[in-house]
Amino acid sequence: MKAEVKIRPFWYSDAWIFPKLVTIITTLDKQGRVNAAPYSFVMQWDVMHFKPQMMLGFRQDTHTFQNICETKEFVINCPRWDHLDDMMTTARFWPAGINELEHTAFTPVPSRKVRPPSIEECPQIMECTADQIIRLERSNAIVIANIEAIVMDEGLEQMGRAERIKAMNLPVGLGDERRLDYFYCDTSNVVMHRLKDEQNAYQGVNAKTNMPWDDAAEAALMEVPPAFRTLVIDNTERAAREKGLDAVSIKFFADLAREYGMDQEFIGRFSKS
Ligand SMILES: Cc1cc2nc3c(=O)[nH]c(=O)nc-3n(C[C@H](O)[C@H](O)[C@H](O)COP(=O)(O)O)c2cc1C
C-alpha cells in the first residue's frame, strides 16, 4: 500500500529523501567582505570540456545569492566529514558582512582564477563565474556558472575512485526536519558495481553504419562507447552527406571528432584499454 503525501514548502528537503553533496560556497560582497555558507543544490550542467558549467539553486534572500548577483564570482568548497560541525556553523543565519569562516577552523586561502577565497581544508574545490541567473517567480533562483578551475589536494587525481572516495570522506546530506535537525552520513560503506556490456558490444554489434567507413574510421568508431555510438554514426554520416561525400574516411572522422571536441583525450576517457 502507498499513500500520497501533501506537498508543503521545502518539500524537496523534508518530505523527499534526497542524498546530496555538501559544499561550502565562498563569495565576496560589493565591499569585498567574505561570506561562506553550505549549499547542496550543486550539479553539473555542461559536461563537455570546451565550456564546462555547473547549475546551482539558491533561495533568493541568501547572502550568497545576492553576492553572486553583484560580483559574479564564487568558489564551491567540499569539506571532509571531520569538518561537519564547522560546515554547520557557516549555515547559521549570520548578519550580512560577517565572515562565517572566522567562527570555524577553516582557513581561507587565495583562489587561482577568482577573488573569493578557497578553503584550505577542503580537498576538492571549484572556482566559478556566473554566466546566467534565472529567478523563478516566488521561489528559488538558478545560477548557471562557468567553471574557471577545478583544484584538488595533490595526489587525489592520481588515485582510483575507490581510494579517492575513502581519502576524501565527504559527508552526504540527507535533508532536514523543520529547518533545525540536519541529517548526514559518511561514505564508509561504499560498494562498486560494474556496468555489464553485451559481451561484444565493444566490437560494434550495435553500431549499424549506413554508408561505407574505411577500416581506420571503423576502428576509431569502435573506441566510442556503445551508448554514444549511434549518435556519433548519425552525426558523422549527416556531416558527410552535407559535404557531398558517400563514404567516411579516417581523416574526415578525425577532423569532425576534433571539431566536436571528441579528440583523443575525450575518446580515451571511455576506452577500456
Ligand atoms: C547541507 C546544507 C545544504 C544547503 N543547501 C542549500 C541550497 O542548495 N540552497 C539554498 O538556498 N540554501 C541551502 N542551505 C541553506 C543555507 O546554507 C542557509 O540558508 C544559510 O544561512 C545561507 O547563508 P548566506 O545567507 O550567508 O548565504 C543549505 C544548508 C545546509 C546545512
What pLDDT was estimated at residue 64?
98
- For residue 266, the model assigns a pLDDT of 61
Q: Is the pLDDT of residue 221 over 90?
A: no
Range scoring the smallest mean pLDDT among 48-52, 61-65, 269-273: 269-273
190 pLDDT above the threshold of 60? yes
**C-alpha distances in Å from residue 254, one per residue of 183, 216, 264:** 49, 10, 9
Query: Does 57 fall in a domain?
Result: yes
Whether 206 and 176 map to the same domain: the answer is no
CA distances from 17 to 41, 71, 184, 213, 270 (A): 14, 33, 11, 49, 32
Of 116, 151, 185, the residue that ends a domain is 185
Residue 115 lies in a domain: yes
What pTM was estimated for this model as a whole? Answer: 0.84
Distance 195 CA to ligand 1 centre (A): 35
Which stretches of the chain are assigned E, i.e. beta strand? 20-21, 23-28, 34-39, 42-44, 53-58, 73-78, 108-109, 118-119, 124-135, 141-152, 172-177, 181-185
Share the mean pLDDT of the chain. Answer: 91
Averaged pLDDT, 20-25: 97
Assess whether the C-beta atom of 50 lies below 6 angstroms from ligand 1. no
Q: What is the pLDDT of residue 222?
A: 84
* Domain coverage including residue 214: 201-268
Give the residue from 185, 209, 239 where a domain finishes: 185
Q: Per residue in 119-157, pLDDT tens? A: 999 999 999 999 999 999 989 999 999 999 999 999 999
Site of grid cell 545576492 = 66
Predicted local distance difference test score (pLDDT) of residue 269? 61
DSSP for residue 35: E
Domain CATH code at residue 160: 2.30.110.10
- Which cell numbers hold the place of 210? 549506413
Is 205 found in the same domain as 176? no
- 41 CB within 6 A, ligand 1: yes
204 C-beta neighbours (distance < 10 Å), count: 16
Amino acid at 5: V
- Verify that 37 and 64 share a domain, yes or no: yes
Q: Report the nearest atom of ligand 1 relative to the CA of 36.
A: 26
Rounded to whole angstroms, the Cα distance separating 257 from 34 reads: 43
Q: Please say whether the beta carbons of 167 and 181 come within 8 A.
A: no
Question: 19 with 113, same domain?
Answer: yes
Same domain, 243 and 130: no
The CB of 171 under 6 Å from ligand 1? The reply is: no
Does any domain span residue 172?
yes
Residue 193 lies inside a defined structural domain of this protein: no
Residue 273 is assigned to a structural domain of this protein:
no
In a domain, 61, yes or no: yes
Quote the number of domains for the chain.
2
Place of cell 582557513: 107
* Cβ proximity of 49 and 139 under 8 Å: no
Residue at 127: amino acid letter: E
Looking at 185, 217, 232, which one is the last position of a domain? Answer: 185
Task: Report if residue 258 sits inside a domain.
Answer: yes
**Ligand 1 centroid to residue 74 C-alpha, Å:** 14
